[in-house]
Structures are given as C-alpha cells and as structure tokens.
Chains A and B, each alone.
Chain A
C-alpha cells in the first residue's frame, strides 16, 4: 500500500506541486478569500448600536451608499484622482524607461537599482517629505519667499487634489518605470531599424512599432498603479486636506470612530467592484488593441 502511494506520489507532478503549495493556498483561503467573502456578507447586515449587529439580509446599506452624495462623490473622486495619477506617472516615466532601454549601454543594472531604490524607502516617509515640500511654511513657499519671488505663501498647492496627484505620482514612479523598462527592453531592435529603412519617420516608427510593442508594460503599469491608489489612505490624509479626501477616509471612519461595520463593508465592496470593473475594461481594451496591431 505505502509503496503504491509512494510510487503515485513520485509520478504525479500535480500532487507534488500542490504539496508544496499547501501553505500558500491555505493562507490565501484563510487570510484573504474567507475574510473578503465575510466582508461581502457583512455589507448585507445592519449596525443597530455600538456593539450590536442585526444579521438579517438587507440591501439597504447599498441604497444608503448611493443616496449619500458625500459617499458617491468621494468614490468618484477616488477613481478620478487615481486615473490622473496613473496617466501622469505613465506619461512622465515612459521617456525615462525608453532612454534606459535604448540609449544606456553600460551598467544597466545600476540604472535599474537607481530606479527602484526610492520605492524601498518607507512609504510614510516619502509622503511626509511632500508635506515638508508643499506646506504653507514648506520648502517651496519658504524658498520662494527667501528668494524674494513672492511675499505671501502660496496656499493653493497644499491640501488639494493637486497635492495628492503630485505626491502619488512620485510615490508610485518605480511601479511605472520597471514594467515599462522590461517591455521596452524586450523589443527586438531590428524591428525598429526595419521600420526606419522602410521610410517611416522617427515619430511614425514610435507610434506604429515601438509603442504597440511596449503595450504589455503600459498595461502592467496602469493596473499596478491604478488599483492600489484608488484605496490609498495615507496620502489624502497627509497632503489632501478636505479637497483631496478620498473614499478610504470614510472606510477608516466607519471602522473606527463611527463604528458602522456594515456601512464600512459596503464602501469597501463598492471600491473593490469599481477597481475590478475598471481592471476588466482595461484588459479587454488592450486585448482588442493588440489584436488590431497584430
């Protein structure tokens, strides 16, 4: 019997692979999937008072969410800010990734390390440094006053959506640079040369050859920046003020001082649904786009 089991085990890659994967998958089911399903379940309950929850099924919390202009506007603002951040980060990082992929010849590893190093410094401290820079008595204002260019501090930069966009574009730069670089670096340079030889200008070559071939990196970067920034809490709290406030603020207060877990669960579920649907739209659009290119 044992010999038979041993033999079966030795033969089957499936069994071996899943033995090795057991801890990872148990963790996934217990710490991620089950909690998320439970959160979805809680979004159909009702908070009666501080400590009591009514566990009968109701969709009232969803109705409540969409009837509160504050919540829907925060949801809309979260998605909007993330969109702008993703776009700005991609647009500014693309030329850098392009330069490193096509013009740098020596020490590419060094450039890669330089690209990713700021990402490893504490997220909180990176955001905090922008508070120092943009604040009313911050680096920009005090610097401009010292230079005599302005007499009163500029107040519009700090505590606004703009401040959130600048700060997040800085914080997530590495996540745009790396996928863009990887996909650009993979491009066979002879394709670009061929396009030039066939009479395309530099710009035409970029639009017809280089950019379409770098699309996997572009999509990777879009998803990897857009998804986490929708739910970002630290940046809007630290530099956003009231204007830059996002849905994460309400989720935190529902789980914190307001203590309305079902309402917090509804906000989280809706945030997740927004992220998931946009992710699907982006991947679907790319599939169509790449099919047309190919």
Chain B
C-alpha cells in the first residue's frame, strides 16, 4: 500500500485544527486500518499460494467445485499450522542457545 497519505487539494484537512481527542481517535483509526491492511495482504498472499495448489484442473466453471473449496480451506489452515511450527521450532532453538 502507498505509505504516503496525500492531502493535496483538501485545505479543510488541517491537522493542526484537531483537538487532542480527535487526534487520538485518528491515531486509533490508523492503527486499526493498518491491521486491516496487513490482514488483507495475508489474504492476497494465501490466495496466491493456495490457488496455485488447489485450482489445477481445467476451469469449466467460475465457482469453486466440490474438491476445490475444501482444498482452499485446508490450504489456509495447514499454511498457518506450518507457520506456527516454524515459530515454535525457532523458539526452541532460541532457548537451547
């Protein structure tokens, strides 16, 4: 995502005019939006990985068929399991050092 927030052409958006409470609300809003963006980024990356693995047959319908749907679901869950395994393994290595 584009990291810069351009406020060009909107003279009303003057940060100095905000009250402390508004500034805090805005800060919280940015934190929440960043988290949402991170989650969406993960969804894009998981879809990319799992589409490659699960949608291998000739595409005859726009819907996911009986095998594709569970494959995509399993793919998401197993990817996350695998990710947890890596983290646990690394944690173990750290404590053994």
Query: Do the two chains bind?
Result: no
Residues of A with Cβ closer than 8 Å to B? none
Q: Which residues of B contact A (CB under 8 A)?
A: none
